[in-house]
Structure 1
């Protein structure tokens, strides 16, 4: 082999090695060496059991990226332990309205505004068989945004998952006391069944229910009777209201005629006084009759006035009388 062929072989070998090295870097980097994917950190309060590297990150069912790293950070000052979860959002998953993919700075601005509107991360069970979890992003307005990292622009706040909420609720329940109370109740029920008290109580309840049903049936009959009486009263009131104007007019005419008769009687008495003596028995009788006639006319006139003002007095009677 001459020198020129040897140099060619070595050059080809070096170029092939460099190509394989570049291909390995691209493969090991997950094909993301030359893209502008953005990483965000999430801090979950509960357990992240079932969440693994490579788990999908979705927004309302749309894949956005995946989990890249799960770490355990211990704080030596207060012995507090946090579990930061790093996720990567694919640059191609966000498309602008006018087409095309936004730049990295614009993607960060979009995520920041979404966080301000209530974007939160939550763990969700992906499969009941495998028990694997995924990260779900969605809007939850009204939930607090608790940032724990030194770079809030690269952090998405989290909220507890439904399973964590159920576990915390169950943890706060006084299960031991509830079991003890349930045992006491079951013991009391067993004792009541043995003594026959429960059976007697059920029988008494059945009797009470039947009595209540009878009362309700009687109440229905009483209501029907009351409705019938009210209808009759309404009919009588309507009849009185119809006949009352004519009756009052006739009564007023009679009062006027009686007033004329009293006036004529007074004139006749005045004429008789010129004929009869002042102290005769006939004169005294006539004087007494005149006074009584005038009093009667005045009473009838007052009665007519009262009936004009209060026509319902014919039905209810004069107020204050018994």
Structure 2
């Protein structure tokens, strides 16, 4: 019993010792534990304070230096470059930068980065401060759907920043001309926007130009707005003289666009963002009315149409009603004859024909067209400019023309033609030249030679003798005149003195007769009684 009690006592003593050791903590572990906690807290605090690290890929990073170049937004530092290295294939430069933590939410797929350098353009000066402080990277932040850390830097500064208010649109042009990224857009010569980008259309036929119209000018954009190329200088000659137009010096040198609303109606509608407009070549084209209804006809000419171009006007009695669409040359191998079919477009909304249902029909009215052709309706080529030789198609009523019937070819009606003014002029000139050629100049020349021979051998010597005789006669007449002047006309001549004396006597006699007549009127009885 004693042994068992001793064993029990030993167990209790060991358990008591073990419990005493388990509850006690050595002061040696307090310092490491506290240091571990403080270190962990500092690490967490450092992680929280440290901003995100990003990588920006540039084609060239000239002037960018690690631990020196900063990243700015609105001239405030938002990050710093920590490393600059090449990509694996050495084709690009990868810039590593540490951003401030408050920019974490703006590191999205829409954010943009570019290197700011000193640039002097036609309409703006940028980055002059980099001449003293060195280059820096500019950030254009924007919140997006995704948070990213890899970015592709821009080669040049973007035209439009994300915080600028306005609306984007697209212009469809036939060619880019002198337009480039950053080209200004004007409204009534006020800068209202700029070109942001351009690219070839998917079908390869046109150029799609992306533009940005700043607020509040974007409120002026409607479905009736017209855009045109305002590059260079536009000069037109009018009855009042020469009219020169230009938007600004920048548009003359670097190109530019302009827009306006020319044909406003009650049905004007606002358009949505990215709406597509047509870019016209000039303000003259932009001001033109554009019609929805078009009628097409064929006109055939057998003579030269040099001077006629696509787009040349089609007129009726001086009023433009359409234009030339296309023309080609067709030959016949059997008879070696050539014809030039010209496709013309007539816009019936340019004129009015009563009743109105005839004018508003979708297809040409065969009945009306037939009557017109029977009454002499013909097409003719005329000169629109004597200096440049440009031609146009003139439609008019002609008298005394061969009769023609209404014909149709390839689904389009044919309008008969008459010779053009140039062709008629050539024909008239040929007739005149033929008549001149018919004159017997050779016979006339022979007869003229014979006449001149007769003059030299017979007529001229006789004429000389006559002239000599006349000369002698004139000399004699001159001597007679001198004698006459000496004897009769000279104031000292004897006869002249006698004539003067005779005249004086006649004067006295006349005076005596007059006195006698006056006395007899007063005393008629003196004829009987005497004095």
Q: TM-score, normalised by structure 1?
A: 0.47
The structure whose residues are more often strand, as a share, is: 2
The structure whose residues are more often helix, as a share, is: 1
